[in-house]
Amino acid sequence: MKVLVTGITGFIGSAVANAMSREGWTVIGQSHHTDDNQFPTTKLSITSQTDWSTLLAGVDLVVHCAAYSPRKGQHTNFAKYNETNTKGTMTLAQQAASIGVKRFIFISSVKVNGETSPNHVPFNQESVASPEDDYGVSKLQAEQELLKLHHATSMDVSIIRPPLVYGPGVSSNFTMMLKLVHKQAPLPFGALSNQRSLVFIDNLVDLIITLCSHPSAAGQTFFVSDDHDVSTTELFRTIGIAMNRKARLLPVPSSLLVGCCQLVGRYNIINKLLRSLQVDIESTKTILGWRPPVTFEEGIAITVQDYLARVKE
């Protein structure tokens, strides 16, 4: 089987490509840069005008991992999200369908459902999509158009909405948590009862591999996680245990933390660390007969060991 992985040099895309190569499949990729990549990779932008015909020749399966998400502090507008995440996705998918690609797997986001899941009620397949930012809106619109394409053509489409993905090489906010615990910085997160779903990169990739051939995957949207939701307090403590360092967590009431964040305008911290964001994967397990192969504790331990190895370099 020949597979095209978009965003192949990224955190998720590279993990997908490596796993598919181990399956014995022929893997090619798309990226904005092609340096230091073991797979044949074409430098190509994802836009409504992109010609994918050469890259799609002979491809059986597309795993679309790439997306536009601006870096912290970078100002943008909905037009950019729409051009890449919606229109660019559909240009790729339409050309894939016309050339005879059998299956298209779209890595969407839980942000399609919203930023928080109130009252500890996880999002599931019946939850109403309610994106709160341009990124989530652009992903939802892509999902909707892809499902129309699925019904109108012979190409099967499957969609995954992952929550926070972590693992070796993870960057951004998760790396900051690792750094804070490693430095044993005092943290005001010792009294939180929120619940967060996370997914270890190997679990996400295992689900993607399952979707490549499962007969019940076509036309479906799946949630994924480690099947072990944790509070922010428990997350920091688990990282500390894996590092053999005690996380210095101060028992500051959640209401006080929320008030302080609101006072200084740090609403992103409220959503990402203080409130709940859960997904229900029972439907995923039932439809596919799938279970995450790596436990939450194992995933954290592997991630921590990779981080510590890089810190020593």
**Beta partners for residue 166, in sequence order:** 200
Please tell me the predicted confidence (pLDDT) of residue 73: 52
Q: 164 burial class (0-12, 13-18, 19+ CB within 10 angstroms)?
A: middle
52 CB contacts (<8 Å, ≥6 apart)? 44, 91, 92, 95, 96
Dihedral, CA of residue 12, residue 17, residue 22 and residue 25, to nearest 10? 140
* Longest distance between any two alpha carbons in the chain, whole Å: 58
Residues 147, 148, 152, 154, Cα dihedral to 10°: -20
Phi/psi of residue 71, nearest 5 degrees: -70, 160
What span, in angstroms and rounded, lies between the C-alpha atoms of 152 and 159?
Answer: 16
Partners of residue 165 on adjacent β-strands: 199
* Any domain includes 223: no
Any domain includes 120: yes
Number of domains the chain contains: 1
DSSP string, 93-147: HHHHHHHT--EEEEE--GGGT-S--GGG--B-TTSPP---SHHHHHHHHHHHHHH
Specify if 244 maps to a domain: no
Any idea which residue has 């060991």 for tokens? 305
Helix and strand numbers (H, E) in the chain are 12, 9
Three-state secondary structure call for residue 200:
strand
State the pLDDT at residue 267: 55
User: In sequence order, which ranges of the chain are alpha helices (DSSP H)?
Assistant: 11-22, 53-56, 78-81, 89-99, 134-152, 172-182, 201-211, 232-243, 254-263, 267-269, 282-288, 296-312
Report strand pairing: 41-43 vs 61-64.
Answer: unpaired
Residue 105 near residue 222, CB atoms below 8 Å: no
On whether residue 142 sits in a domain, the answer given is: yes
Report the pLDDT value the prediction gives residue 48, as an integer from 0 to 100.
95
Measure CA 79 to chain center. Answer: 22
Q: Is 135 a catalytic residue?
A: yes
Q: What is the pLDDT of residue 262?
A: 73
Spatial distance between the Cα atoms of 111 and 237, rounded to a whole number of angstroms: 26
**Of 61, 66, 21, the residue nearest 211 (C-alpha):** 61
Q: Tell me, yes or no, whether 63 lies in a domain.
A: yes
Q: pLDDT by residue for the chain (313 residues), tens digit each?
A: 999 999 999 999 999 999 999 999 999 999 987 666 789 999 999 999 999 999 999 999 999 999 987 665 555 778 899 999 999 999 999 999 999 999 999 999 999 999 999 888 999 989 999 998 999 999 999 999 999 999 999 999 999 999 999 999 888 789 999 999 999 999 888 888 999 999 999 999 999 999 999 999 999 999 999 999 999 999 999 999 999 998 999 998 877 877 777 766 665 666 677 789 999 999 999 999 999 999 999 999 999 999 999 887 5
Contact 174, 65 (CB under 8 A): no
Nearest CA to 254 out of 271, 230, 277, 241 is that of: 271
Terminal-to-terminal C-alpha distance of the chain = 38
Q: What is the reported pTM?
A: 0.94
Tell me the Cα Rg of the chain.
Answer: 20
Q: How would you label 36-48 residue by residue, b for 16+ Cβ within 10 Å and e otherwise?
A: eeebebeebebee
> Which domain does 98 fall in, by range?
2-161
- CATH of residue 48: 3.40.50.720
Please report whether residue 153 resides in a domain. yes
From the candidates 68, 81, 135, 166, give the one annotated as an active-site residue: 135
Is 287 inside any structural domain?
no
Judge whether 272 lies within some domain. Answer: no
